[in-house]
A and B are shown apart, each in its own frame.
Chain A
Amino acid sequence: MGNWDWQVFCKNTIDGEVMPRCFGSGGDITYLQWMLSAWGWTISVSLLALVVAVVVGSLMGILRTTPSKTLILIGNAWTELFRNIPLLVQIFLWYHVIPSLFLPLQKVPSFLLVVLALGFFTSARIAEQVKAGIESLSKGQRYAGLAIGLTLPQTYRFVLLPMAFRIVIPPLTSESMNIIKNSSVAFAVSISELTMFAMQAQEETSRGIEIYLAVSLLYFVSAFAVNRVALFIENRVQVPGMIGGGK
């Protein structure tokens, strides 16, 4: 296994010819181009799923901290349901089961189904973080908001959520990094993302090590980028004297 063959990425995906400038002409593409487009799919699935997860997860997390028993029950049921079924099984449910039970969903592209699956799966984890973030604030903060005459929604909007949001950024960062890793499971329903590319290109070229190394590196780079962006946001919203903030 000592001899590398990095030229594999410059090969045409149809006839295996090495292309001169590593990019195909006309309709042909090289493995490098295929991999970059797969990276694009990985990023797109991840980002869209993250939006779904943050919106739904925050909502469910907030519901679980309200005084209403019904709302708490809804939030709890949601979290338990999406947390206790493996992601791969959830993706199969969205892809094979739900469209055959609800026929209108058959027209929805599988890309979107995977976004929903990954988004809802992650929303359960984010709901946990948001709930924990709100509960980590002292009960006195809720009292203080109500005591100056704010309504419960106003107390959430102006007092509890701004602080909970800051507390939740670090765990949210690691969930965002997880979402990129978890998007790899989309290979199972033939979304042409990085892992799917790795499996197919490995089979076609038999240069598994080079392919896997490149793909692993791209996952690493993506996660690193998310980490930097999150750090930037964290610094921007830092409040002097508050938990984790400087004096």
Chain B
Amino acid sequence: MLETDFGFLTWNVVSGFIIKGFIFSIQLTLAAMIGGIALGTVLALMRLSGKKLLVLVAAFYVNTLRSIPLVMVILWFFLLIPLLIGRPMGAELSAIITFTVFEAAYYSEIMRAGIQSVPKGQVYAGYAVGMTYGQTMQLIVLPQAFRNMLPVLLTQTIILFQDTSLVYAIGAYDLLKGFEVAGKNFNRPVEMYLLAAATYFVICFSLSMLVRRLQKKIQIIR
């Protein structure tokens, strides 16, 4: 059994290697969450619109992305975006676009369930007071759907945060990469991987505890 030695770990190491990656992981998570939920909500509304073309387009989008591994999607976008725009794109920016598009497929399934969880009578009630489709959705259905699904949306975001580590495939500098580079520079990979695991664990575990508490609160309010 080998000894581990964390003696090399100073604030300079942390701020030099790890903080930079951590900030990118957070940026990526937040961007993909906000963009993904927005795009996902549009996709969910398309699928529930009853208009054949919209339903087909949205279903194709969601089902295709959900049947391919995220790593492959990351590779696909890293290959395709430069071809489309005619110039190379950095791994970090490519990752942000990829994750937003990819997560939208997953968020849209959650939002679809959320919209369906709102009783049909709510829609009738909206129409009955003279609201348009848009108003009924925006003012009545979506707020309720969003509230009902908040814990699930947040849980998906925790998974998203874990998945950001997969930008490893295109070499973007995220939290995990920060630990890895530091481990290589100081020849202490074992310690740094352990520390990486502990960091992810503490973040994800505390967040999922918060979500659980929120879930209980929502159940009580209902």
| CB-based contact B193/A84 at 8 Å | no
B30 at the interface (CB under 8 A from A): no
Asked if residues B72 and A84 are in contact (CB atoms below 8 Å), the reply is no
What are some 27 contacts across the A-B interface (CB < 8 A)?
Answer: A81-B201, A83-B204, A84-B162, A84-B200, A84-B204, A85-B200, A85-B204, A86-B200, A87-B162, A88-B165, A89-B176, A92-B193, A100-B2, A103-B1, A177-B67, A181-B70, A184-B72, A185-B71, A195-B71, A195-B75, A198-B75, A202-B75, A202-B79, A208-B79, A212-B79, A219-B68, A223-B67
Task: Report the minimal beta-carbon distance from A215 to chain B, rounded to whole angstroms.
Answer: 7
A4 at the B interface (CB under 8 A): no
Tell me the bound Cα distance from A103 to B163 in angstroms. 30
In chain B between 139 and 194, which residues have their CB closer than 8 angstroms to a CB of chain A? Answer: 162-163, 165-166, 168-169, 176, 189-190, 193-194
B76–A212 touching, CB < 8 Å = yes
* B67 with A88: CB separation less than 8 A: no
CB contacts (< 8 Å) of B1 on chain A: these are 101-103
Contact B201 A216 (CB under 8 A): no
Q: Is the CB of A100 within 8 A of B190?
A: yes
B194 CB to nearest chain A CB (Å): 6
Main secondary structure, interface of A, reads helix
Give the contacts of A69-128 with B (CB-CB under 8 A).
80-81, 83-90, 92-93, 96-97, 100-103
Closest A residue to B196 by beta carbon equals A89
A96 to B169, CA, bound (A): 18
A231 CB–B CB distance under 8 Å: no
Q: Least Cβ distance of A245 to chain B in Å?
A: 24
A209 at the interface (CB under 8 A from B): yes
Overall SS of chain B's interface = helix
* Interface flag for B197 (CB, 8 Å): yes
Size of chain B's interface in residues, with CB distance under 8 A?
32
Tell me if B132 is interfacial: C-beta within 8 Å of chain A: no
Chain A, residues 163-195, CB within 8 Å of chain B (1/0): the string is 000000000000001001111110110000001
Which residues of the partner chain B approach A143 to less than 8 Å between Cβ atoms? none
Contact across chains for B2 and A220 when beta carbons are under 8 A apart: no
Q: Please name the 10 residue pairs, one residue from A and one from B, whose CB atoms are nearest each other, closest first.
A: A184-B69, A84-B204, A86-B162, A181-B69, A86-B165, A184-B71, A208-B79, A84-B205, A88-B165, A84-B201
Residues of B within 8 A of A86 (CB): 162-163, 165-166, 176, 200
Find chain A residues with CB under 8 A from B163 CB: 86
**B208 contacts the other chain (CB 8 A):** yes
Contact (Cβ within 8 A) A89 B2? no
Tell yes or no: B218 within 8 A of A by CB. no
Shortest Cβ gap from A16 to chain B (Å): 20
Any A CB within 8 A of the CB of B113: no
**Is there a chain A Cβ closer than 8 Å to B83's Cβ?**
yes
Which chain B residues numbered 14 to 68 have a C-beta less than 8 Å away from chain A? 67-68
Q: CB-CB contacts of A209-244 with B at 8 A, as 1s and 0s?
A: 100100110011001000000000000000000000
Residue from B67, B165, B190, B205 within 8 A of A219 (CB atoms):
B67
Given contacts A199-B169, A209-B79, contact A97 B194 (CB under 8 A): yes
Which B residues are CB-close (under 8 A) to A84?
Answer: 162, 200-201, 204-205, 208
